[in-house]
C-alpha cells in the first residue's frame, strides 16, 4: 500500500523534515506494509493544488498552511491574525498541538471539505525582508508586499499600511528581482532556503506572528483506516510534536548566522517594543474582520483560542 504525502517546501525544509520522519515511523511500524512517497513543492503543483488533490483523494496527506488555505477553509485564518499567537514559542507548540478551539470547533470545517485535520505545528517567527528600512506603518506606504494567498493576510498587510500582493511562493524570488514586489514575509529558515535574502536588503523582526502549518489527510481515506492504524498515526503525531519543534528551532537559528555569512551587507533590524506596538494596534481590528468574513462560530473560535493562549502562558509562568 502506498500513501502519498505532499508538502509545500523544498528538500531539507521544516515540512520536509516532518514528512521524512513521518515516513520513517509509518514504514517501520507497519513492517513495510505501507510505503510513504513524499512530494516536495512543485512536484504535484503549488500550495493550493496539493490541498485540492488531498480533498479529492489523489493524495492521502499534505501540508496545508493557513496562509494558503483561507479561501478553502476560511475558519483556519484565525491563525493568521497578527500578534495573536504568543511570543513564547513553547506556548504556541502546546496550544497548536492540542487546542480545543482548533481540533474541536474547526475540525468540522475541514471535514466538510473532505479533509481530516491531523496536526498543526509552528515553523518559526515571521521575518520581513524588504528593500528599505521599515520601522513604522508609514514606511510601508506604496510598498508592494507579497503575502500568502489567504484573504485575511491581504487585509492584514493593508491594515499595516502596505500594498499587499497575494502570490504562491514560487513566484516570489523573481518578483523581488524584477521589482513587481518589494517585500515578503517568512520564517528565516525559509528566507535562506528560497534565497529571498539575495533580492532584498533588510531583515526585519516585527514580533508579528509565528508561521504555522497544518497537516491534513483525505477524510474518506482516514475514515477507512482500521482503528489500529488510526491509533498508530495518532501516536506518531504526538511523538512528532517535540521532534519538529526542535528541528525548526535548529534550522532557524542556523539560518540567522548563515545569511549573515552569505550576505554580509544585509541589515538586521529588530523593532523596539514601542515600534511593534504601532503595528499591533492596527492589527486589533482584524478579529472583527475574521468574525465578519468567516461567520458561523468564528467569534467563539477566536475568543476560545485567545483564552487558551493566555492560560498556557500563565501555566508556563509568563
What is the distance between the alpha carbons of residues 22 and 244, in angstroms, rounded to a whole number? 10
Closest CB to ligand 6CS: residue number: 169
133-143 residues labelled b (16+ CB within 10 A) or e (exposed): ebbebeebeeb
In the complex, the smallest distance separating the C-beta of residue 300 from ligand 6CS, rounded to whole angstroms, is 28
In the complex, the smallest distance separating the C-beta of residue 185 from ligand 6CS, rounded to whole angstroms, is 8
48-82 residues labelled b (16+ CB within 10 A) or e (exposed): bebbbbbbeeebbbbbbbbbbbbebbbbbbbbbbb
Spatial neighbors of 65 by CB under 8 A, at least 6 apart, are 8, 47, 148, 211, 212, 213, 214
In the complex, the smallest distance separating the C-beta of residue 274 from ligand 6CS, rounded to whole angstroms, is 28
C-beta of 123 vs 192, nearer to ligand 6CS:
123
Alpha carbons within 13 angstroms on the beta-carbon side of residue 146 total 25
Per CB under 6 A, residues contacting ligand 6CS are: 8-9, 47, 65, 67-68, 123, 148, 169, 186-187, 190, 211
C-beta of 26 vs 148, nearer to ligand 6CS:
148
C-beta of 102 vs 148, nearer to ligand 6CS:
148
C-beta of 196 vs 222, nearer to ligand 6CS:
196
DSSP bridge pairs for 215: 63, 119
In the complex, the smallest distance separating the C-beta of residue 169 from ligand 6CS, rounded to whole angstroms, is 3
C-beta of 115 vs 185, nearer to ligand 6CS:
185
**For the residues of 63-129, what is the DSSP string, one character each?**
E--HHHHTTTSGGGGGGGSTT-S-S-HHHHHHHHHH-HIIIIITHHHHHTTTEEEEEEEEEEEEEEE
In the complex, the smallest distance separating the C-beta of residue 8 from ligand 6CS, rounded to whole angstroms, is 4
In the complex, the smallest distance separating the C-beta of residue 124 from ligand 6CS, rounded to whole angstroms, is 8
In the complex, the smallest distance separating the C-beta of residue 259 from ligand 6CS, rounded to whole angstroms, is 15
What is the distance between the alpha carbons of residues 246 and 224, in angstroms, rounded to a whole number? 33
C-beta of 22 vs 312, nearer to ligand 6CS:
22
C-beta of 4 vs 146, nearer to ligand 6CS:
146
Amino acid at each position: 500500500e502506498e500513501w502519498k504525502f505532499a508538502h509545500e517546501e523544498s528538500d531539507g525544509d521544516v515540512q520536509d523534515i516532518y514528512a521524512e520522519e513521518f515516513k520513517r515511523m509509518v514504514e517501520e511500524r507497519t513492517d513495510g506494509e505501507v510505503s510513504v512517497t513524499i512530494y516536495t513543492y512543485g512536484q504535484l503543483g503549488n500550495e493550493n493544488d496539493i490541498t485540492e488533490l488531498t480533498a479529492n483523494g489523489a493524495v492521502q496527506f499534505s501540508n496545508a498552511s493557513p496562509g494558503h488555505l483561507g479561501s478553502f477553509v476560511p475558519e483556519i485564518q484565525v491563525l493568521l491574525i497578527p500578534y495573536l499567537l504568543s511570543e513564547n514559542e513553547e506556548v504556541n507548540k502546546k496550544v497548536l498541538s492540542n487546542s480545543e478551539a482548533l481540533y474541536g470547533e474547526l475540525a468540522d470545517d475541514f471535514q466538510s471539505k473532505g479533509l481530516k485535520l491531523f496536526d498543526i505545528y509552528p515553523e518559526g517567527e515571521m521575518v520581513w525582508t524588504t528593500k528599505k528600512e521599515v520601522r513604522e506603518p508609514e514606511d510601508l506606504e506604496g510598498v508592494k508586499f507579497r503575502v500568502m494567498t489567504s484573504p485575511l493576510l491581504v487585509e492584514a498587510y493593508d491594515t499595516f499600511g502596505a500594498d499587499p500582493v497575494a502570490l504562491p511562493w514560487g513566484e516570489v524570488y523573481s518578483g523581488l528581482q524584477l521589482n513587481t514586489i518589494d517585500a515578503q514575509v517568512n520564517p528565516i529558515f525559509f528566507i535562506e532556503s528560497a534565497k529571498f535574502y539575495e533580492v532584498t536588503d533588510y531583515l526585519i523582526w516585527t514580533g508579528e506572528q509565528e508561521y504555522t502549518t497544518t497537516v491534513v489527510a483525505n477524510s474518506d481515506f482516514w475514515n477507512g483506516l482500521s482503528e489500529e492504524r488510526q491509533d498508530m498515526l495518532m501516536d506518531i503525531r504526538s511523538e512528532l510534536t517535540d521532534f519538529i519543534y526542535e528541528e525548526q528551532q535548529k534550522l532557524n537559528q542556523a539560518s540567522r548566522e548563515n545569511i549573515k555569512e552569505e550576505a554580509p551587507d544585509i541589515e538586521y533590524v529588530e523593532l523596539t517594543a514601542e515600534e511593534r506596538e504601532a503595528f499591533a494596534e492596527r492589527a486589533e481590528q482584524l478579529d472583527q474582520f475574521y468574525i465578519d468574513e468567516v461567520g458561523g462560530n468564528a467569534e467563539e473560535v477566536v475568543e476560545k483560542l485567545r483564552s487558551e493562549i493566555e492560560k498556557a502562558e500563565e501555566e508556563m509562568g509568563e
